Amino acid sequence: AAKWVVVEAAAETTVQASGDAGASFQVRRVGRAEPVLQGRLSAPRTWAPAGPQAPVQLADLSALTEPGTYELQVDGRAAPVRVQVAADAYAALSAAALKAFYFNRASTALEARHAGPWARPAGHPDTDVRVHASAASAERPEGTRIAAPKGWYDAGDYNKYIVNSGISVYTLLAAWEHFPELFKAQHLNIPETGNGLPDLLNEVLWNLDWMLAMQDPADGGVYNKLTNLGFDGIVMPHEARAPRYVVAKGTAAALDFAAVMAQASRVFQPFEAQRPGFSARLRSAAVAAWRWAQAHPDVVFKNPPDVHTGEYGDDKLGDEFAWAAAELYLTTREPAYREALALERQAIRVPGWGDVAGLAWVSLAQHRAELTPADAELVTRQVRGLGAELAATWQASAYRLPLQGADFGWGSNAQALNQALMLIQAYRLDGDRTRLDAAQSVLDYLLGRNPLGQSYVTGFGTRPPLHPHHRPSEADGVAAPVPGFVVGGPNPGRQDEKGCPVRYASAQPARAYLDHACSYASNEVAINWNAPLVYVAAALQALTPA
Ligand code: G3I
Ligand code: 9MR
């Protein structure tokens, strides 16, 4: 059955205003003279995050339903805008976004038959990792060597962080839990393809195996990160040979670990034949980490003085407790976790690495049939409420976006994607099509419908980024960056500007972006930013009605 994904979805496209309200537009099939659609642009309006200049107008393309490639022409404007209408418009994007995780694998060579021009030798075996002073215990004194290979590099750097792995793995496994049919049919051409497991699960296993090794078997505690003492230079993985350390156990790491292991235990349960005993092992790992966190409820992570890599520091732990309790409850059905969850006291918010409460609501909504009627009602109300709020912002915005000024910080593109992810949860509960359209608007934005007229996903959309802050993309000698990565995006904080030879486009929130490898504050890639891209692209593919 055909599904016309881009159509109602790319329902609106923004074009720079020509000044005359109500100018008309025409849509033609490429190479044809007669228009298939004509309409009038909405009145010009400005969008606060983009600054006072350059008002925009909307062209409503929702009537365009026949597959094909079209050109949108606005009166008085020379260059037409290309519009694609296709049943599988997001299939390649969602697959590439997932394959990006393969490209960021630690401890393995990428073979040309899987990686094409981005093939590279193995780096970071992580089989001889030092226990840092901050992580020393009786069983593992400072300097003890442990092995914790595999996993994904976090981002443009080569370190591996449990907190950020938590939300990333969760989001990918949620995509699997919500849209299994789509992922069963997806072949990524990774080394495991064809082994009887879907490739999404194959890819996630690469990181789960690493995460399991980050738990101290003696007490269930989980180290925050596996890292160098300082960031590597701009070199390929196999050229980066600085000593590696596991650093300090912490409460957030233990809880994020517990949540993901509990979720993964559910997910891998039907795959007992492929991985005997794995589901049970994940479940025990989750319970042990939860117990550690209960005994150590306020161990906030701060970088020790000699460690200068990413911190992912978070001193608000209530949301981590709630999320872990929710996942453990859904997996074990033990009432103690439902009590610890204290659902009535939890707020719902758009999730991010430091605020994971939203993930609990996503899981509870997915499994609401297993909840008491009162809990199911509360979950439905809360998720729909957040969806309504985001959709109202979308409806009122000149760019038709849920994003507002305050959303523009480090990783604003992922903030937008996580808004889309929450809108999709609302749509899955109530079928209100505006929620799905609002989510699609976020993809339109990321692929080029934004004040800079540029895509934020490598290899996709209009004028994609060419110089992401991603060490392999910078050091591999290949002109094109590794494809399928969303970059952090506009960030008025511009924390990197001192070290950059060129200036940002602007200081306005939605324009504060720089496509230069120096720009780790606006142009880095990261696993927690790519995971919701996988989710949202897959969801639109799976959910857009025929
Ligand atoms: O929490 C405050 C909030 O209260 C305040 O209103 C807001 C105003 O700017 O700032 C918030 O803090 C921000 C924090 O992220 C939490 O979102 C900081 O300004 C911001 O600088 C910080 O950025 C983080 C960045 O590391 C620097 O620590 C990003 O979220 C995080 O994604 C990024 O992660 C890095 C890793 O450390 C290393 N690997 C690459 C990765 C991606 O760049
Ligand atoms: O490459 C690092 C990136 O992954 C981090 O997100 C960022 C912020 O912690 O830091 C980058 O490393 C820079 C360092 O902080 C300052 N000197 C330049 C480094 C980039 O080459």
CATH of the domain at 175: 1.50.10.10
Say whether pLDDT at 370 is over 90: yes
In the reported structure, the alpha carbon of residue 160 is separated from the centroid of ligand 2 by a whole-number distance in angstroms of 14
Q: 310 CB less than 6 Å from ligand 1?
A: yes
Among 122, 108, 125, residue whose Cα is nearest residue 226: 125
Confidence of residue 21 (pLDDT cuts 50, 70, 90): low
In the reported structure, the alpha carbon of residue 312 is separated from the centroid of ligand 2 by a whole-number distance in angstroms of 14
Q: 410 CB less than 6 Å from ligand 1?
A: yes
Q: Which residues are catalytic?
A: 157, 469, 515, 524
Query: Using an 8 Å Cβ cutoff, are 141 and 179 in contact?
Result: no
Say whether pLDDT at 8 is over 60: no
Among 224, 174, 198, residue whose Cα is nearest residue 422: 174
Query: Using an 8 Å Cβ cutoff, are 5 and 439 in contact?
Result: no
Query: Using an 8 Å Cβ cutoff, are 176 and 201 in contact?
Result: yes
Say whether pLDDT at 12 is over 60: no
Q: 409 CB less than 6 Å from ligand 1?
A: yes
CATH of the domain at 73: 2.60.40.10
3-state secondary structure 97-165: HHHHHHHCECCCCECHHHHHHHCECCCCCCCCEEECHHHCCCCCCCCCEECCCCCECCECCCCEEHHHH
In the reported structure, the alpha carbon of residue 313 is separated from the centroid of ligand 1 by a whole-number distance in angstroms of 9
Give the nearest ligand 2 atom to 310 CA: 9
Which residues have a Cβ under 8 Å from the Cβ of 17 and sit 6 or more positions away? 41, 44, 54, 55, 56, 57
Tell me the C-alpha distance between 446 and 453, whole Å. Answer: 10
Domain-ending residue, one of 374, 390, 406? 390
Give the nearest ligand 2 atom to 157 CA: 4
What is the tally of structural domains in the chain?
Answer: 2
Q: Which of 152, 164, 168, 410 to mutate to test the pocket of ligand 1 (most atoms within 8 A of CB)?
A: 410
3-state secondary structure 361-388: HHHHHHCHHHCCHHHHHHHHHHHHHHHH
Question: Does residue 486 form part of some domain?
Answer: no
The distance of Cα 30 from the centroid of its chain, to the nearest Å, equals 34
Tell me the C-alpha distance between 254 and 328, whole Å. Answer: 13
Give the nearest ligand 2 atom to 495 CA: 8
- The pair of structure tokens assigned to 381 is 């109300």
Give tens-digit pLDDT for 86-99. Answer: 888 899 999 999 99
Strand partners, 58: 14
Tell me: do 116 and 31 sit in the same domain. Answer: no
Question: Does residue 138 form part of some domain?
Answer: yes
Question: Does residue 95 form part of some domain?
Answer: yes
Question: Does residue 531 form part of some domain?
Answer: no
Dihedrals φ, ψ of 152, to 5°? Answer: -100, 145
Tell me: do 59 and 98 sit in the same domain. Answer: no
In the reported structure, the alpha carbon of residue 169 is separated from the centroid of ligand 2 by a whole-number distance in angstroms of 23
List pocket residues of ligand 2, CB cut-off 6 Å.
Answer: 155-157, 231, 310, 499, 520, 524
Say whether pLDDT at 2 is over 60: no
SS3 402: coil
Say whether pLDDT at 380 is over 50: yes
Closest C-alpha residue for ligand 1 atom 3: 409
Say whether pLDDT at 6 is over 60: no
Closest C-alpha residue for ligand 2 atom 12: 231
Question: Does residue 504 form part of some domain?
Answer: no
Give the nearest ligand 1 atom to 157 CA: 39
Between 76-85, 277-286, 461-470, the lowest mean confidence (pLDDT) is in: 76-85
Domain-ending residue, one of 390, 406, 435? 390
Averaged pLDDT for residues 305-309: 98
In the reported structure, the alpha carbon of residue 310 is separated from the centroid of ligand 2 by a whole-number distance in angstroms of 8
In the reported structure, the alpha carbon of residue 206 is separated from the centroid of ligand 2 by a whole-number distance in angstroms of 25
Tell me: do 34 and 161 sit in the same domain. Answer: no
**Ligand closest to the CA atom of residue 528:** 1
pLDDT value of position 23: 80
pLDDT value of position 348: 98
Tell me: do 196 and 76 sit in the same domain. Answer: no
Higher-pLDDT residue of 326 and 63 is 326
Helix %, strand %, coil % of the chain (to 5) = 45, 10, 45
Say whether pLDDT at 5 is over 60: no
Q: Which of 163, 520, 523 to mutate to test the pocket of ligand 2 (most atoms within 8 A of CB)?
A: 520
The domain containing residue 358 runs over which residues?
91-390
Closest C-alpha residue for ligand 2 atom 10: 520
**DSSP structural state of residue 470:** -
Tell me: do 317 and 217 sit in the same domain. Answer: yes
Query: Using an 8 Å Cβ cutoff, are 232 and 300 in contact?
Result: no
Q: Which of 104, 152, 154, 157 to mutate to test the pocket of ligand 2 (most atoms within 8 A of CB)?
A: 157
Tell me: do 140 and 34 sit in the same domain. Answer: no
Query: Using an 8 Å Cβ cutoff, are 235 and 121 in contact?
Result: no
**DSSP structural state of residue 189:** -
> CA 307, 486, 400 angle in degrees (round to 5)?
125
The distance of Cα 3 from the centroid of its chain, to the nearest Å, equals 24
| Pairing between β-strand 245-249 and β-strand 129-131 as defined by DSSP bridges | parallel
In the reported structure, the alpha carbon of residue 360 is separated from the centroid of ligand 1 by a whole-number distance in angstroms of 22
pLDDT value of position 53: 73
Query: Using an 8 Å Cβ cutoff, are 424 and 539 in contact?
Result: yes
Query: Using an 8 Å Cβ cutoff, are 152 and 167 in contact?
Result: no
Which residues have a Cβ under 8 Å from the Cβ of 416 and sit 6 or more positions away? 401, 402, 403, 407, 442, 445, 446, 489
Higher-pLDDT residue of 73 and 465 is 465
- Rg of the chain over all Cα atoms, to the nearest angstrom: 23
Domain-ending residue, one of 359, 390, 421? 390
Closest C-alpha residue for ligand 1 atom 21: 410
Say whether pLDDT at 139 is over 50: yes
Query: Using an 8 Å Cβ cutoff, are 68 and 31 in contact?
Result: no
Tell me: do 80 and 205 sit in the same domain. Answer: no
Closest C-alpha residue for ligand 2 atom 11: 520
